[in-house]
Amino acid sequence: MDDELMDIEDEPALDAGEVIEAADTAARSIEELIGRIFEYKHRLMERLLAEGIGHSRFREGPAGRIPESWRVVPLQEVLAGRKIVEGPASLPEPGDGAATVPVILPESIGSLRLHEKRCGAVAKDRARKLGEYAVAGSDIVMAVRGEYAGASAIMPVFFEGGIVGPECVRLTADTGLCEPFFLNNVLHSYFQSGVLYTFNAGNGEMAIDLDMLRRLMIKLPPLPEQKRIADILLSLSGEIVAGEDALTRVRSIRGNFISAEDE
C-alpha cells in the first residue's frame, strides 16, 4: 500500500496552465488566420465586383469602368417589386407562449452575418399579424439607423423565417435579374468602403437615407457570372465562419481549464 502511495506522489503535478497557454497560442494563430482570409476576401471581392471574371474589353459607365457585357442599374431595379421593406416602428411583446419567431435587429447583423442568438423574439401568433415584415432565406436585412447602420446580412437558405425589426429594412432580390448572394457582397463592399456613410440623413445618430439607397448604383454582370462571383466569395466566407467557430471552441476549452484550475 505504501508503495502505491509513493507511486502516486511521484506522478508529475497536473498543470492546467500549460493547456491554457496552448489555447492562448492557438487562439492567436486562428485570429491571425481569420484576419488574413478576411483581407484576401475583401481584396478579391473588390476586384471581382469591378472587373468580373476573364474580361478583356471594358467601357466607361455611370459608376466607372465596367466590362462591356455589364450594365449599371439602381438598387431598386434589382429588388422584387422594386421596393425596400422598412421594419415596423415597434414590435409587440414576445408573449408568454413558448413558440416564438426571431426578430432581425441591427445587433444581430452588425458583423455582416446573421447571429440568431442576438435576435429579438415575438410570439408566433402575434407574428402572423406582421406578415408584411416577414423575412425568409436569401432575403437581405440591412440596419439603417444607429451604430450598425449600413451593415447587412443575407439570411441562410435554411433559415426558417423571421420578422425584420425596427431600424432595419428587408431587401429581396429579383432572382430573374440578380443573384442574392452577389447583391449581398455588393452591399458589403459599399459598407466596408464607407460609401453608405455618405447616405446619412440624420443630424446626430447615423441614419441611411432610403431614397439615396434606392438609387445606389449596382454594377450588374449577366446572371451566370453573378453566380460564379457569388460562389467564389461564399466559399471564402465559409472559411471565415469555420475559423470563427474554431476560435469559439478554443476559447471554451480555455475557460473550462481555468475553471478546473480554480477547483
- The domains of the chain, with CATH numbers, are 16-65+226-263 (1.10.287.1120), 71-220 (3.90.220.20)
Residue entry with cell 472587373:
51
- If one compares 57 and 203, the residue with the highest pLDDT of the two is 57
| Three-state DSSP state, 77 | helix
CB 114 within 8 A of CB 104: yes
- Please, are residues 228 and 52 in contact by the beta-carbon 8 Å criterion? no
d(CA 49, CA 190): 11
* Confidence (pTM): 0.86
State the pLDDT at residue 11: 58
Residues 117 and 75: beta-carbon distance below 8 Å: no
What CA–CA distance (Å, rounded) separates 18 from 31?
20
**pLDDT, tens only, 119-148:** 999 888 888 888 899 999 999 999 999 999
Check residue 96 and give its pLDDT.
60
Pair 169, 163: CB distance under 8 Å: no
pLDDT in tens, 219-231: 999 999 999 999 9
| Listed range (15-19, 51-55, 76-80) with the worst mean pLDDT | 15-19
Tell me, what's the pLDDT at 171?
Answer: 97
Q: How far apart, in Å, do the first and last CA atoms of the chain sit?
A: 28
Report long-range pairs for 154-161 (Cβ below 8 Å, ≥24 apart).
154/114, 154/180, 154/181, 154/184, 155/104, 155/114, 156/114, 159/114, 159/135, 161/101, 161/134, 161/135, 161/136, 161/137
Q: CA-CA distance, 8 to 20, in Å (whole number)?
A: 24
pLDDT given for residue 124 in this prediction = 85
Distance CA 194, CA 206 (A): 13
